[in-house]
């Protein structure tokens, strides 16, 4: 499964098949592939200031 995001408007597209030579376009630009679980979510948590 592949995920693509448009940097212009924020639309998401999901492909159920494997990667091919076709890349989706939106807002006149090629969409960016988003790879799941590549961001460390632990850094996004709120930590109280002591």
Judged by DSSP in three states, 42 sits in helix
How does pLDDT run across 10-48, given as a tens digit for each residue?
Answer: 999 998 888 788 889 999 999 999 987 766 666 666 777
In a domain, 46, yes or no: no
pLDDT of the residue at 31: 94
Q: Which domain holds residue 8?
A: 3-36
Predicted confidence band at 3 (pLDDT cuts at 50, 70, 90)?
A: very high
- 3-state secondary structure (DSSP) of residue 40: coil
Q: Does some domain include residue 15?
A: yes
Residue 34 β-bridge partners: 3
Q: How many structural domains is the chain composed of?
A: 1
The secondary structure element, H or E, covering residue 3 is strand 2-5
- Backbone torsions φ then ψ of 42, nearest 5 degrees: -65, -30
Confidence (pLDDT) at 46: 72
Domain-embedded: residue 43: no
Kindly report the pTM of this predicted structure: 0.66
Specify the 3-state DSSP secondary structure of 2: strand
* Domain assignment present for 47: no
Check residue 41 and give its pLDDT: 62
In a domain, 42, yes or no: no
């Amino acid at each position: 499964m592949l995920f693509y995001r448009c940097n212009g408007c924020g639309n998401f597209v999901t492909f159920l098949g494997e990667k091919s030579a076709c890349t989706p376009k939106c807002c006149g630009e090629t969409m960016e592939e988003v790879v799941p679980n590549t961001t460390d979510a632990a850094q996004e948590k709120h930590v109280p200031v002591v």
